[in-house]
């Protein structure tokens, strides 16, 4: 922090998270499901008959693939929206009860606070001093107990609409990749192989996006993403073979 840098500027620089980082969970979740869901259609057709995808035709693959893509993307987006809304509602409901206990049953809350602080390594004297301070600020006391007693993070910065939109968009963008070969080529065995390659590439890109945000081991970021998506895609193909 320089002499000319304000506290707000320092916090903004030190803790800045990109827009992609803010929605990383939704991007990875939606993208992975989109890739696997669409590839499941292609793989299911490919594994279902001796002639592979050519047996049903490219139009059928695209029809079922796109129908699944948009239906599931909508369901995922709306599901994420409802999930985020429910999480907020639950948090505030539990927090209201915690504030009530702080105001109406202070001794029990104090004992819980001292136990929490002691478990964190604080001396009994300091724990009592901290409890004295917290009792003077019930609203912050409620936030403290939500975090350290209940174990719930404040979802104040979560936007259910944007979360749902990010999930929907990621699902569509990544989910359409396994279908791209069928838009431009005949539905032959070689096209299915290109779809497999496209699916693998999409999973790699998703893993790289994860790495670009969290900046940790690139092999783990990409490897885990490809492994999880690959397992799901393999299951879809095996199911298709089972019903051949």
Q: To which residue do tokens 């047996």 refer?
A: 55
Query: Which pLDDT score, from 0 to 100, does residue 50 have?
Result: 44
Mean pLDDT, rounded, for 154-159 = 82
User: Residue 1 pLDDT more than 70?
Assistant: no
CA distance 106 to 187: 70
Mean pLDDT across the chain, nearest whole number? 83
pLDDT of residue 209: 86
| Spatial CB neighbours of 65, under 8 Å, sequence gap ≥ 6 | 38, 41, 42, 178, 179, 182
User: How many Å apart are CA 244 and CA 239, to the nearest integer?
Assistant: 9
Model-level pTM greater than 0.85?
Answer: no
More confident residue, 75 or 156: 75
């Amino acid at each position: 922090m320089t002499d000319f840098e304000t506290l707000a500027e320092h916090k903004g620089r030190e803790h800045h998270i990109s827009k992609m980082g803010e929605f990383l969970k939704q991007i990875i979740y939606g993208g992975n499901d989109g890739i696997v869901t669409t590839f499941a259609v292609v793989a299911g057709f490919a594994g279902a008959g001796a002639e592979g995808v050519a047996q049903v035709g490219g139009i059928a693959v695209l029809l079922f693939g796109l129908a699944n893509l948009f239906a599931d993307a909508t369901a995922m987006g709306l599901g994420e929206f409802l999930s985020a809304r429910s999480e907020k509602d639950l948090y505030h409901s539990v927090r209201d009860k915690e504030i009530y206990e702080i105001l109406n049953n202070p001794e029990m809350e104090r004992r819980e606070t001292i136990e929490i602080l002691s478990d964190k390594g604080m001396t009994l004297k300091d724990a009592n001093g901290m409890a004295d301070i917290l009792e003077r600020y019930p609203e912050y006391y409620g936030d403290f107990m939500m975090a350290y007693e209940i174990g719930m993070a404040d979802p104040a910065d979560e936007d259910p609409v944007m979360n749902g939109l990010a999930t929907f968009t990621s699902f569509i963008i990544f989910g359409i990749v396994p279908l791209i070969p069928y838009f431009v080529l005949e539905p032959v065995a070689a096209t299915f192989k290109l779809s497999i390659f496209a699916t693998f590439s999409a999973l790699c890109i998703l893993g790289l996006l994860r790495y670009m945000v969290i900046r940790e081991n690139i092999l783990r970021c990409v490897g885990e993403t490809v492994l999880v998506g690959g397992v799901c895609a393999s299951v879809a193909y095996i199911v298709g073979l089972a019903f051949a």
